[in-house]
Amino acid sequence: MLLFDFSDQEIKVVGLSPKLLGGEAINSYLKVPLKAGLVVRRQSADPQKLAQEVREIIKKGEFKMGNGETAALSLHDERVFTLRLKVGRTSDGKDVLKYIDTQVETFIPESAHDIVSSFKPAAIGSPGEVQFIAAAKELILGYKEVFKALDLNLTLVVPESYALYRLISPSIGLGETVLFLNLEDTAADFIVADKEGVLQTFTDSPDPASVERKIAAIFSYMEKRWARKITKLWLGGTAIKDGESLAKKLKLEAVRVEVALSSYPLKFAQKGSTANTPEAAHLLGLALLTKQKDALNLVDSV
C-alpha cells in the first residue's frame, strides 16, 4: 500500500508492505519537489499530468506497484472541515444525518450537494457528540482521477489532523484536551483534540508572534465554546524550534511528536526508517488508520 501527501511544492510517499515475520512494515519513504502548477491550493490542477509526474517519482523511489495495489491520501486541513458536533441523540444514524444536513450551511460555505462527508458518534466519554469531516466533492474527485490514472485503488482519504490524532491518541488521557501545533515553513496548523478525536482545527501564519496570538485565541475559544481547558502542547512539523520555551511561557506541558514515534506499533524496514521523523508523522498516523475498520473516510461517499 502507498500513502500520499500532496502540497503545491512537493509530494511525500510512504510505502507500507507486509513482511513474512512480524506483520506489516514501513518499507520506504520519499519526499520530492513537484513541478509548479500541478497542485494549486493543495488541489490537483491537472490530474493526468500530476499522475504522470507521480508515476515517474514512484519508479525512481522503487516503490512496489502490483496489480490491485491500494493507496491512501492525507489532505491538509486547509481544504477540509474537521469538527466535533453536538447532536444530542446519536443512536439513530438517520437522526444524525438529518441534523448535519440542516446545520451544514452554518459552518460550511459549500452546498451540501457539493461536499462529501463522513461522521462517527462518540464512543468513549462524550455522548451526544459526533466526529465530522467534510471536503469539496471536486477536490476528492480530482484526486480519484489521479489515482485511477496510476492504476491505484484509492481506499482511504482523511484530513491530516485526523491522521495525527490517530498517532498520538494512545498518549491522550481520558478527560484531557490537548493542542497539537504542527509548524511548517508555510503554515501553522493548530489541532485541538481529546481522547475521542479532533475537536476543531485552525490554520494561520507560521510567524512566531502570530502563533502565540493564535494559541491564546484558541484557549479562549475552547473555554467558551466547549468549556475545555488545554493542558498539553504537542509539538510537530519541520519548523518547530523553540516549542518548549513557548509551552513554558503559556504554562503548558510540552510533548514532542517524537514521543509518539518512539512507541510506533509498526516496524520500519531499513529503507523506511527515514519516515520515522516529524515531517512524516501524519503519514504514519494514516498507516494506522488503514488498519482501523471504523475510521472516517471521505472517499467512501464519492
User: Which three cell numbers, joined as nine digits, stand for 196?
Assistant: 475521542
DSSP label of 170: G
What whole-number distance in Å separates Cα of residue 201 and Cα of residue 76?
A: 11
pTM score of the predicted model = 0.93
State the amino acid at position 288 in one-letter form. Answer: L
- Mean pLDDT (10-residue bins), the chain, 302 residues: 96 84 82 96 96 92 78 96 76 65 75 88 74 95 96 97 98 95 92 95 93 95 93 89 86 94 91 90 97 94 80
DSSP letter, residue 173: P
**What pLDDT shows up at residue 41?**
94
pLDDT at 190: 97
How far is it, in rounded angstroms, from Cα 289 to Cα 287? 5
CATH code at 2-75+137-158: 3.30.420.40
pLDDT at 129: 83
Beta strand 230-236 with 177-183 is: parallel
Contact criterion met (CB below 8 Å) for 76 and 96:
no
Q: What is the pLDDT of residue 66?
A: 65
Which residues are CB-neighbours of 59 under 8 A, at least 6 positions away? none
CATH of 164-262, one of 2.40.320.10, 1.10.760.10, 3.40.50.620, 3.30.420.40: 3.30.420.40
